[in-house]
Amino acid sequence: MEAPGPLRAVRTWEEVLPDRSADDAVLETMLLTAGERGYAKTTVAEIADRAGITQDRFHRRFGGKEACFARAYEQAAGRLEAQLREGCEAAESWREGFQAALGELLRFVAEQPLTAKALLLEVRAARGEAWETHQQVVARLTAALETAREQPGGRPGASPMTAGFVAGAIEESLSIELAAGRGEQVERLLPDFTHLAFLQLF
């Protein structure tokens, strides 16, 4: 199976490219519509119509709304996580890596607020398999933050709860910004988030 490419900037469901595979178009439309209208209001009929397929084909390919959202979430979250890790691993130090990954996250939210809203906010409404995937992603990113204790200047007394606090604070702040319609402005938070993490971990 071909590895998924990087996430591209899409602000509305109408911008889904026609040369995408049918399945990818449906998955992307699912996230964009959930981000635009909310998961609870999103219907199979609406997704099928926007993606240009029949409801019968939708059910054959994805089973139902919850399963489709879970698959879309896993794909998009996996791509985003890979981008964050790539930015972090390319840096020369932990601090630079953290700033690079955080900058990548904020840029993603600013450029793709609807998808970001689906990944951070609407997954809470969807629950199920998508929520389990979300928890796993957060756990892996929190574990990456915990490695700060091993770095020069790291606080050896910091507990795993400290990394969880930092990750939770960043996630919740971004969720608040997205809910308030300020997703495209989140890059301004980079200095504050960086200060919070370094204050707690170093």
- Chain segment 33-73, per-residue pLDDT in tens: 999 999 999 999 999 999 989 999 999 999 999 999 999 99
The pLDDT score that the predictor gives to residue 11 is: 52
Which long-range contacts does 47-50 make (Cβ < 8 Å, 24+ apart)? 50/13
Report d(CA 160, CA 72) in Å as an integer: 30
Least confident of 6-10, 76-80, 160-164, 185-189: 6-10
Q: Locate 174 and state its tokens.
A: 């971004």
- pLDDT over threshold 80, residue 166: yes
Tell me how far apart the alpha carbons of residues 175 and 49 are, in angstroms, rounded to a whole number: 29
Position 18 pLDDT exceeds 70: no
- Looking at every residue in the chain, the average pLDDT score rounds to 88
- Closest-CA residue to 171 (of 127, 201, 139): 139
Distance CA 87, CA 84 (A): 5
Cβ-based neighbour number of residue 139 at 10 Å? 12
- What band does 14 get if pLDDT is binned at 50, 70 and 90? low
- Residue 7 banded pLDDT, cuts 50, 70, 90: very low
- Give residue 180's pLDDT band: very low, low, confident or very high (50, 70, 90): very high
The pLDDT assigned to 151 comes to 84
Q: Give the other-Cβ count within 10 Å of 104's Cβ.
A: 17
Q: Answer left, alpha or beta for residue 127, where phi above 0 means left and psi between -120 and 50 means alpha.
A: left
Query: Looking at residue 8, what is its pLDDT?
Result: 46
Report which of 65, 75, 10 is spatially closest to residue 38, judged by C-alpha positions: 65
Higher pLDDT, 21 or 20: 21
Instruction: Report whether pLDDT(25) > 80.
Output: yes
